Structure formats: structure tokens, C-alpha cells
Structure 1
């Protein structure tokens, strides 16, 4: 008696995501380098000048890393509390940072001790930045005030107290030394002009504002807070243009790519979304282990740096073309264990005898039922929830095997309402899949023949049967149309093929005329003349 052969599950081509230019561009990064900091990484800022070091603000320290260094090349630790918002000046020589003790400190990147200390705030300072003047500093604090400071004299120039809650983000204009924008937990954004004594524009974000970003042209402003990322037209009086809600937790930071054509947002939901700034649709997504607090992109997008709540700094470097070629060449199949045991240059001898260990056959649950000729139970086993949703090819293979055995009709008949509903759901969901359609159309046709005449079915099953009948008829119409198109293509392609020329012999007649026909025609012509 022949042994039982298990059901062969065919391997179908995977229907993966659409490969786009963005997916190829943003996936071209190496495995991340992870560095453990002393606390949550709240801010990352790149130096505008080469070699483009970046400052990482975490807990009571600010570390400066090189482009490819895994250890800090510089550290500033002279803070009495938690440090916030370490920012470089446009020449990369100075760095400013706020602190929980309400003191703003200015550092020389090549030194260690603070050059200046600016005292005047009464609570923690979360916002610091240089103006385009390079000799002034903007600060924002939890005391609801934002202030401008003069660097040479270490004195306060002006102060604004228009917000009614903590000021947690701010940005200065790179084109106008007098303009800056602040965002607060009172849900508002305010545009200030240092030449006036009050704000000149107010915008309502609707959520506590966590991050601000100005486009290079400074005509558009991006604000992030709550689950929203909003774009504002500053030139039209702060008119809202787009409101994006692609995150399901608070958005903590935003940044632009080097070309300005892609906008990135990071959130506490552990995702970084990449938007196309033309239509503001998500074109790519990065996943991380924990919630994200800070994000930065290196010039030319060579590096993506992400800071997380657990103190991990994740650094992804872009691959070089040569490294991509080496990686593809290394993905070849490695030798088996036996090659290493016997040696690389081992050659089998003529007298060698290979002792093979018998392989024990493990049958799946549906194969065990098929071996016992329980066709209905075999189909039920293949239609379990996980298998039905994650591996539909298994159920299709079982249906095909039952049809080959001629027992598919027996397996489909005699089902109760719940079993029939589960089967109909599977057919409706996979009938139009071109990989499964040849097999499932036969099963759907049998089900309609068996159960369409039954009256005592529930309304749910009746609706499913009507839906299945509609899908089956539509699929048949599509197949007929495809056959017609194939016939048309065959005619077109056949007409494009080169014709074979038949050589003319002495006895042959032109234009395919038979000898008798040509002679009769000539005689009639002579008689008329």
C-alpha cells in the first residue's frame, strides 16, 4: 500500500507594497547605531558648518558627537538641573542651552566653561535659539515669557508676556533678525517683531504646541502638537493650509529634508512619518522601539538621528553604493555544516557509503483528517481564523486537493449556518484574487448549486450568497472580456509578423489563379474583341 502524500502548498508570489522612489530612498540606511545617554533625549541639533557635528541634550548634559563617532567628542556638564534645547549658532562656534534652574548658558564649542549666563527667567527655560543677527538670543520659559538677550553685554533687550501657559517651542527667522515665533501649551502660536511691543500675529493650533518649523522661504510655518501637524501660510495672515492627523499619539518634533521636499514628524507612538510637501501624503514610515522625543536630519540626509524617552540615541547612516553591492554579494547561500566538518576541498571517494537518516514525516492537522478521509473536518481545519487570514493559500490548496479527489462537493454539503458563513466569508474575500480565482470559482459554483435552493437559511447567509453570486458573475464577465482582448492581441501580433514569400515557378499563375480559370477568362476576352 502506498504511503500517504501530504498536501502540497503552492508558493504564490507575494503582493508586497508598491516600490516607489521614496521607499528606495528612505530605506537605503544601515542598521542603527544605538548609544545610551544619561536620560531622555529631548533635543538634537546639527551644526550648520562642516563636519556637521550634532549636539544631543539629555538630562543634565549636552554631548557633541561627530558624524561617525560613537563616543562624544565634547561634553558640557555644568548644569545644576536638567538641560534643555542645546542649539548651535550659524557659524557653529557657539552653543546656547536653557536649564531647569532658569539660567541660560552660552558655551564656546572649543571650551568647557560657560562664556555667559543670562538670568531673568523665574522658571525652567525650554526654548533657546540664536537670531540671524548672531549677537542676540531668544529664550522661552515656563514663566509664560519669551525674551531677547544681547550676547556681548549679557543683558535683556525685551520681554513679552502674552502666552498664558508654558512656552515649549520657538523658532527665529533666518531672513529677518527681528522676527521670531513661539508656541505654547495655551494652544497658540505668536509671531513677534522685536521692533514692536506686542505680537503681530496669533494662530490657534487647537492643542498644546510641542514643535515649530519654518520653511526655508519662511512663507510657510509648521506646528506640531497633540495628534496634529498643521501647516500655516504666514504671508496670508496665518491662514491654515493643511491639518495632518497620521499619528495616534502626541507629535513631539518635526524637521525638513535637505531638499525641502519632504517633511518628517516624530511622535510618542514610536513612528516617524515622511510627507511629500506637494500633497502632504505619507510616502514612508520608520518604526522605533519606544516613544520619540527628538529628531534631526544631517545635511544631504546622510544621517537620521532619533532620541527616545528611554535615553537611547538611534543613529542611521546612509549606505554607499559600494556597500550596497558588497551586501548583495554577501547574501549568497553559505555552505552547510558538513562542509566545515569535512573540509572545503573534500572530494567523495568511490568506496564511500552514505548513511542517510530516515526523515520522520510530520503531517499537518488537515492532512491527518484527509488521511482518515474526513473531508469536512479537513476543510474546517484549513479554515481556522489564523490560517484563513494569514495563510489563505493553505485553504486554497486543501480545496484544490478535495476537488482532485472528487470529494469537494461532499466537504461543502451538510454545513450549519456558522460553518457556511465562515466558508462564504473566505470565498468572498479571496475570490477576486487572481492567484486563487481558478480554484475558488469551482468551489463557489458548487456552493451556489447546493445551498441556493434551501429556504431555511438566515438573512446573513442569504446576503452572503447573493454577494457571492454577484462576485462570481462579475468574475466570469471579466474573464470573457480578457479572452476577447487576448483574441484581439493575437490578431494584431499575427499581422505584425513577417510574411513568407512564395517563389513563382514556370507553371504557377500570378495572383493565385488556377490554370483553368485564367484560360477561360482569356478566351471570353478574345470573343468580345
Structure 2
């Protein structure tokens, strides 16, 4: 009697994730550290100078964290109500923040009490930052106004009232000390020059603007609002270059990496998308547990910090790269160890002993060998096999069809088993539908 030949299961190609240099790079961040804040984290800002501490604004407090600290190393809590948008000056010595009561506070990072209080807004201030000359502050509030302040005299230099809804975001140009940008819920982004009495450029984003970002060169502007991230050419009068729609909920925050080659966006859909700034295609994505409100990347791209609506601060650090010195110190086997025996040629008097290979049959093969068609089909209709290795089920069905016993294997089954079989066939119709239809 001829030996039984096991069922040949056709190997199907599996589509895996395409591994790119970006995938390897962004996967290099360690398991995140979770820090609980007192409220939703509305702003994260890294100090531009070493040791790259970062300020976290949540509820009525501003916490300063060290790069690897899980407890705040400093706290500013002298706010009567909620605090917003704490931002560092370029030298890392001063910190400015808005508040729910409409005031703007200026802090010395080494002190505790505010150095200056700027009063002028009549409603909450969600935007406050420094111009690149370091001696002026720009702000935006829910009273629809955008103001410019002088730090030494604590006076209002100029006030703009061109927006028709809340001013919630903005940024300053690093190239021109007189230029700053604001984004509003009136769907517009406005570019202001402190030397003029009105805005220089108005851009229609099309949705309430949640975040704006200016490239270091000052030529490109990124705005986020609704599900869209849009890139504009400022030098060409605000011409739209590209519109990205990779999120399925409101985009709330933007940031650039240190080289400006990667753009990051966070959204209420719990995702952080990373785009290439040359092709504007998504090169990687991070998933989080809750909706994202704020996002920041350290100046050396060593740390990613994400703030969420539930008050959790998610901190990821890059794994340190292995030094070549350590790898060289490890003793490597000698070259002859690898090539030993490879060139040996058997001689005529040599006797070759081969170990017999034992073939272990699967359960369905054993049942097929004993001609138990119905039980063999039952064995491959189990959920683990149907879900994870459907090609095995298809192979057994094809073998039963080849033997002409598929009809008898299907006979006598109840409604539940037939429903399970039809569901499987409908899901994998191209592979096994012909076997069932011909039975």
C-alpha cells in the first residue's frame, strides 16, 4: 500500500507593513511614561536652550518638567482661574501665559511671582507668545482682538480687532521681528506687521483654526482646523500648496522636528500623524488612548510629549543608539569557525549516516487517511483555523472535492454549522467558492 501523502496547503502571500527608514526611526521611541495633570493639557512648550525642560499648561497651573523627571521641578500657580498657552522666550529665561480672566502674566523661570501683568483683554486669553526681538509680546483673546505689548513698560503698543470670532492660536516669525500670525474661529488666519495698523495678509482656512505654524524660513505657513491640515505659500500672497485630510476628527495641534523635514499633527481622533515636508505623505503614525489637545517635540528630537483631554501627559524618549565601541569589544568567533567543514569532500571509503525524518501528520490528515471525510471537515472548521489559517480549510475542502466526498462531508449538518460554512465561503469566495458550488 502506498504511503499517505499529506494535504498540500497552498502558501498565500501576506501583506505586511512596509518597513521604511521613518518606521524604524519613529519606532525607536521607548514605551511612554504617563503623568497625570490636574486638567486637560492645553499647551506644551519646550525650552529652546539646554537642558530642554518643558512647560505644561493645565487647569490653573504651569508645571516645568525636566527631560526625564516624572514630577514637576517648578510650578507657577498664581492664577485666579484657568491658565493657557505658557510659552518660553528664545533665551529660555522668561515665560508668558494667558488666563481665563483676560490677563497676561510674565514669569522669570527662576522666580515664582509674575514679573509683569498685562491688562487689556476683556475675555479669556488663549494666545500669548514672544516676538523674536525678545522685548515684545503678542496675544489673542476671546474678545476677538490681537494685541502687541512692550515688556519693559508693560504697555499696549497696538491692538488689532480684525477677527470676528475667538482668537485661539498664533505664532511669531523667526526671520522678521515685527511679524506675527493669528488663527481664529472665524475660519481665517491673519498675518500682522507691527509697523502697520492693519493685517498684511488674510488666509481663508475654511474651518475654525485650532493651530498655526510658520516654517523657520518664514515662507511657508501651516494651518490646522476641522479635519484639514493646509500648507500655504506666504511669499505668493497665501497661495494654497497642499490640503491634507488624514485625520477623521478635528486637528488640534502642530509641530515640526528640528530639521523641518517632518511635520507632526495631533487630533481628537487619538492619532499623531507624521508627514514628510517634501511629499506631504504620511510616513508614520502614533496611536493614543484619548483625544489629543497638545503636542511638542524637543529641540533635539529626543522626546515627544503629548497632552490629552483627560489630563494625562504622555512622554516618549528615544532609545540611545548603540556605540560602535561597545560592539567592537564583543569577542567575535574566528573566521575558521564559520567555514569549518564547508569545503570537505567525501572520500570513497566514507560511510554516510543519515537520520530518518519523522513526518507528523495533522489531525485532518489523520482523518483523511482513515477516510473520515465529515470529521476532517469538522477539524478545519474550528474558529482558530478558519480565522488565522483559512488556507488550511480551503486546502481540505479542495482535497475532499478531488476525492468526490465533499457532498457526503456536508450532509447531515444542522443550521448553525451550515451558517458557519456559508459565512466562511462568502468571506473567501475566490478561493473556495468553486469547490462548494461543484459539490
Partners in 2 of 1:37 and 1:139 — Cα distance? 25
Maintained 8 Å contact 1:231/1:241: yes
- 1:24 aligns with 24
Partners in 2 of 1:312 and 1:424 — Cα distance? 44
Q: Relative to 1, partners in 2 of residues 1:7 and 1:80: Cα closer, same or farther, differing over 3 Å?
A: farther
Task: Encode CA deviations 1:370-415: one digit per residue, 9 max, x unaligned.
Answer: 9964269639936x7x965654244235436646876347558999
Q: 1:407 aligns with which of 405, 411, 414?
A: 405
| 1:124-523 equivalent positions in 2, closer than 5 A | 124-322=124-322, 373-374=373-374, 378=378, 381=381, 388=386, 391-396=389-394, 398-399=396-397, 402=400, 407-408=405-406, 411=409, 423=425, 426-428=428-430, 431=431, 444=434, 450=438
Partners in 1 of 2:126 and 2:8 — Cα distance? 63
Partners in 2 of 1:421 and 1:307 — Cα distance? 43
Partners in 1 of 2:405 and 2:231 — Cα distance? 62
Maintained 8 Å contact 1:147/1:156: yes
Number of equivalenced pairs = 393
Instruction: Give the secondary structure class of the aligned counterpart of 1:300.
Output: coil
* Structure 1 or 2: more helix by fraction: 1
Maintained 8 Å contact 1:106/1:116: yes
* Structure 1 or 2: more strand by fraction: 2
Task: Encode CA deviations 1:152-204: one digit per residue, 9 max, x unaligned.
Answer: 00000000000000000011111111111100000001111111111111111
Report the CA distance between 1:42 and its aligned residue: 0.5
Structure 1 or 2, whichever has the larger Rg, is 1
Partners in 2 of 1:377 and 1:389 — Cα distance? 15
TM-score normalised to the size of structure 2?
Answer: 0.81
Partners in 2 of 1:126 and 1:420 — Cα distance? 58
Verify: 1:78 aligned to 2:83, yes or no. Answer: no
Partners in 2 of 1:398 and 1:248 — Cα distance? 42
Structure 2 unpaired stretches of 5+ = 1-5, 327-362
Instruction: Give the secondary structure class of the aligned counterpart of 2:209.
Output: coil
Instruction: Give the secondary structure class of the aligned counterpart of 2:300.
Output: helix
TM-score normalised to the size of structure 1?
Answer: 0.68
Structure 1 unpaired stretches of 5+ = 1-5, 327-362, 432-439, 452-529
Report the CA distance between 1:423 and its aligned residue: 2.6
Partners in 1 of 2:389 and 2:59 — Cα distance? 47
Instruction: Give the secondary structure class of the aligned counterpart of 1:423.
Output: helix
Partners in 1 of 2:13 and 2:300 — Cα distance? 36
Could you say what the CA RMSD is over the residues aligned between the two structures, in angstroms? 3.5
Verify: 1:62 aligned to 2:56, yes or no. Answer: no
Q: Relative to 1, partners in 2 of residues 1:425 and 1:93: Cα closer, same or farther, differing over 3 Å?
A: closer
Maintained 8 Å contact 2:232/2:241: yes
Report the CA distance between 1:86 and its aligned residue: 0.3
Maintained 8 Å contact 1:375/1:407: no
Partners in 2 of 1:253 and 1:371 — Cα distance? 65
